[in-house]
Amino acid sequence: MTPATTTLWRHAHLVTLDGDAGWGEVADGALLTEGGRIAWVGPEAALAQGLAGRPAPEAEHDLQGALMTPGLVDAHTHLVYGGDRAAEFELRLQGATYEQIARAGGGIRSTVAATRAASDEALFAAAARRARVLMAEGVTTLEVKSGYGLDATHEARCLAVARRLGRELPLTVRTTSLGAHALPPEYVGRPDDFIDAVCSWLPAQQAAGLVDAVDVFCDSIGFTPAQTRRVFDAAQALGLPVKLHAEQLSDQGGAALAAQYRALSCDHLEHLSDEGVAAMAASGTVAMLLPGAYYFLRETRLPPVAALRAAGVPIAIATDHNPGSSPALSLLLMLSMACTLFRLTPEEAFRGVTVQAARALGLPDRGRLAAGQRADLAVWDAQHPRELAYVFGHNPCRAVIHAGVARATGLTQGLRA
Ligand code: NIG
Ligand code: FE
């Protein structure tokens, strides 16, 4: 996968995101990639110095002033599932709520039935189609959760499909085991027995190399804080990092609990309390805001962005792609929504899908343009990075570079090698 070539990208409008704030723009910049990493980045004026003592690059491209940013990171998705929930969408439009549908055995459980019935090939083909749509908008790293199998076999199968995506597509995939997503029909009335089962699957998933992190849906229609704690203890015993679907529909104190386990991220957070904010700030946990679910479920309670900002909690943004609460396949649209609905600045939102999203996955090697970072890059038809949060409904991405190799879209054909 890692190319042996060195490539020089010239005359780019670079958005480095170096430092803790600001875009880190270099108006006329150059960037050298070597073996899948960024070897040098800086202004054109310093290029001679940058290349001094290095072999001549094997390929050179003139970007003619196009915007070049880090590749995007979608750090919260449920990409692997069977079926869809369009009929449930219609039901909600007739007045049923997401919670009512879930309590009546629909919702996540209906997707579980469709997922269990789908073949590995069908699951892979559908997930790969979805991943390619995200990638066409500059996504180079993607997190994928399980959570629609809900037994040992089907959970492992979904995680294996996610791993296969990372092997067969020019994309880095991080997998998250979300067995505690919903109570499957065979455990109705026995949630604690189900939590025992979820904990018992983790060692085998880890031994098979299927899991990078562990997640729980802690909510009134999900699992309790005490049940969440048991799953986190099992994860911790295996050395696996945790994250949490927390405070989406109600305040369960999940974020504060997750912070005790130094969670990578707490996700959703519309009902996050001041105590939750303080606990996340103290543990360095990322606040993963998911405007797609907020929009699609017509939530009215906003995540406490001002409090998160004031406390210095890092904020990330993701699609939360899933069939029930966010059938969105556009991380750029989430930038727009994060600004319009949540009042993030374009810079905060963009950091939220690059450097902060990478942090939420525990991947400090990406999300910025700096020597030593992975050469995961995106090239855009835009004059200024704020335009990426401003436009919606069309895709200004011209090229995607994963591990130093350019893929896809219009610009690559026009590039002079
Ligand atoms: O992140 N909140 C729980 N899980 C998903 C929704 C899953 C579904 O409805 O299928 C979410 O929003
Ligand atoms: Fe989710």
pLDDT (tens, 9 = 90+) of the chain, 417 residues, equals 445 489 999 999 999 999 999 999 999 999 999 999 999 999 999 999 999 999 999 999 999 999 999 999 999 999 999 999 999 999 999 999 999 999 888 899 999 999 999 999 999 999 999 999 999 999 999 999 999 999 999 999 999 999 999 999 999 999 999 999 999 999 999 999 999 999 999 999 999 999 999 999 999 999 999 999 999 999 999 999 999 999 999 999 999 999 999 999 999 999 999 999 999 999 999 999 999 999 999 999 999 999 999 999 999 999 999 999 999 999 999 999 999 999 999 999 999 999 999 999 999 999 999 999 999 999 999 999 999 999 999 999 999 999 999 985 544 444 432
Q: Counting atoms of ligand 1 from 1, which one is nearest the CA of 297?
A: 12
Compute the distance between CA of residue 374 and CA of residue 62 in angstroms, rounded to an integer: 21
Residue whose pair of structure tokens reads 């835009």 in the numeric block: 382
- In the reported structure, the alpha carbon of residue 23 is separated from the centroid of ligand 2 by a whole-number distance in angstroms of 28
Q: How many helices (H) and strands (E) does the chain have?
A: 17, 16
Residues 6+ apart with CB under 8 A from 192: 227
For residues 402 and 71, the answer to whether their CB atoms sit within 8 Å is yes
| CB-ligand 1 contact for 325 (6 Å cutoff) | yes
Pocket test for ligand 1, best of 108, 178, 216, 289 (most atoms within 8 A of CB): 108
Tally of structural domains, the chain: 2
Provide the residues around ligand 2 (an ion) whose CB is within 5 A.
320
Same domain, 374 and 317: no
Taking the CA atoms of 173, 240, 367 and 52 in sequence, report the sign of the dihedral they define: negative
Q: Check if the beta carbon of residue 406 is closer than 8 Å to that of residue 379.
A: no
Residue 233 forms part of a structural domain? yes
CA distance 234 to 336: 38
Q: Atom of ligand 1 at shortest distance to CA of 111?
A: 10
Q: How many CB atoms lie within 10 A of CB 307?
A: 17
pLDDT 10s digits, 344-399? 999 999 999 999 999 999 999 999 999 999 999 999 999 999 999 999 999 999 99
Ligand closest to CA 248? 1
Shared domain check, 269 and 322: yes
Are residues 129 and 46 located together in one domain of the fold? Answer: no
Q: Which of 344, 360, 376 is the last residue of a domain?
A: 360
For the CA of 77, the nearest ligand: 2
CA distance 11 to 323: 41
Q: Say if residue 37 is in the same domain as residue 178.
A: no
Residue 177 sits in the same domain as residue 292: yes
Of the candidates 309, 311, 266, the residue with the CA atom closest to the CA atom of residue 286: 266
CATH of the domain at 402: 2.30.40.10
Shared domain for 32 and 156, answered yes or no, is: no
For the Cβ of 322 lying below 6 angstroms from any atom of ligand 1, the answer is: yes
What phi and psi, each to the nearest 5 degrees, are found at residue 6? -110, 135
Whether residue 375 sits in one domain with residue 330: no
> Ligand 1 atom 3: the closest Cα is on which residue?
217
- Amino acid identity for residue 97 in this structure: T
Q: Is the CB of 245 under 6 A from ligand 1?
A: yes
Give the Cα separation of 245 and 348 in Å (integer). 21
H or E element at residue 399: strand 397-402
For residue 259, tell me if it sits in a domain: yes
In a domain, 61, yes or no: yes
Query: 217 near 180, Cβ under 8 Å?
Result: yes
Which ligand 1 atom sits nearest the alpha carbon of residue 323? 10
Q: Which domain holds residue 275?
A: 72-360
| Ligand 1, atom 11, residue with closest C-alpha | 325
Pocket probe for ligand 1: among 84, 217, 290, 298, the residue whose CB has the most ligand atoms within 8 Å is 217
Cβ of 217 below 6 Å from ligand 1? yes
CA of 298 to the centre of ligand 1 (A): 14
C-alpha atoms less than 13 angstroms from C-alpha of 63 in its C-beta half-sphere:
31
> What is the domain-level CATH number for residue 238?
3.20.20.140
Q: Which residue from 353, 220, 339, 225 is spatially nearest to 288, judged by alpha carbons?
A: 353
Nearest CA to ligand 1 atom 12: 325
Q: Is residue 411 part of a domain?
A: no
Tell me, yes or no, whether 1 lies in a domain: no
Within a domain: residue 416? no
Report which protein residue has its CA nearest ligand 1's atom 9: 324
Closest-CA residue to 146 (of 103, 104, 189, 116): 116
Distance, in Å, from the CA atom of 135 to the CA atom of 137, rounded to the nearest integer, reads 5
- Ligand 1: atom nearest CA of 76 is 1
Residue 312 within a domain = yes
Mutation pick for ligand 1 pocket among 245, 269, 288, 321 (CB with most ligand atoms within 8 Å): 245
At 4 the pLDDT is: 46
Q: Are residues 222 and 190 in the same domain?
A: yes
- What six digits make up the tokens of 377? 């890059």
For ligand 1, whether the C-beta of 324 sits within 6 Å is yes
Specify the pLDDT at position 408: 53
CA 20 to chain centre: 20
Residue 354 belongs to a domain: yes
Q: Does 77 sit in the ligand 1 pocket, CB within 6 Å?
A: no
Cβ(107) to ligand 1 under 6 A? yes
CA–centroid distance, residue 36 to ligand 2 (Å): 31
Strands (E), 247-369: 265-268, 286-289, 315-317
Calculate how far, in angstroms, residue 114's C-alpha sits from the geometric centre of ligand 1: 15
331 and 279 in one domain? yes
**Domain identity same for 28 and 127:** no
What is the per-residue pLDDT for 415? 40
Give bridge partners of residue 59 from the DSSP assignment: 7
Residue-wise pLDDT for 174-184, tens only, equals 999 999 999 99
Q: 48 and 76: one domain?
A: no
Asked whether 111 lines ligand 1 (CB < 6 A), one says yes
The verdict on 191 and 206 lying in the same domain is yes
Strand 25-34 and strand 37-43: the pairing is: antiparallel
By the 8 A CB rule, do 369 and 19 touch? no
319 lines ligand 1 (CB under 6 A): no
